[in-house]
Amino acid sequence: MSVPVAAGDELTPLRVHLTRADLVRYAGASGDLNPIHWSDRVATGAGLPGVIAHGMLTMALAGRLLTSWTGDPSSVRSYGTRFTRPVVVPDDDTGALVELTGTVSDVREEDGLRIATVDLAARFDGRTVLGRARAEVVLRS
């Protein structure tokens, strides 16, 4: 990232449609084969409104927004979040729309490096699905 970065700067938003096929691919790659991520019967039996996306997949999408902005996955020093609501993925070809945004909340110098703190947000159906999503990235000159 060679452009000036300041508190208040907004990252280019990212919109992702998650489908059941995406959940199956993620399950295979991650090893998380919990049937709440592919079976309506099991998901509703567990008290969920339907099949839900993996929380870590939603977190990864916010990470994609961040690394697309920095241009360098190795620039991420820390990243944490809380999962506040599930992303319910219907059994159709459209899937669930997850909207991701980010805002720089702070830029500081530390040990000769410029560090940006970025507040991330993920929304599904107009509601927040990640809480306290925050990352620190090293800004390259």
Tens of pLDDT along 1-46?
546 799 999 999 999 999 999 999 999 999 999 999 999 999 999 9
Give the HSE-up count for residue 26: Cα atoms under 13 Å, Cβ half-sphere: 20
Distance CA 66, CA 137 (A): 9
- Per-residue pLDDT for 103 more than 60? yes
Per-residue pLDDT, 1? 54
103 HSE (CA, 13 A, CB side): 6
Please state whether the predicted TM-score (pTM) of the whole model is above 0.85: yes
Helices (H), 19-117: 20-30, 40-45, 55-70
**May I ask the CATH class of domain 54-139?**
alpha beta
Instruction: List, for residues 52-83, the tens digit of each pLDDT value.
Output: 999 999 999 999 999 999 999 999 999 999 99
DSSP state of 126: T
- 98 to 38, 57, 76, 84: CA distances (angstroms): 18, 11, 22, 14
Q: How wide is the angle at C-alpha 82 spanned by C-alphas 76 and 88, nearest 5°?
A: 110
Domain boundaries, given as residue ranges, for the chain: 54-139
Averaged pLDDT for residues 104-122? 97
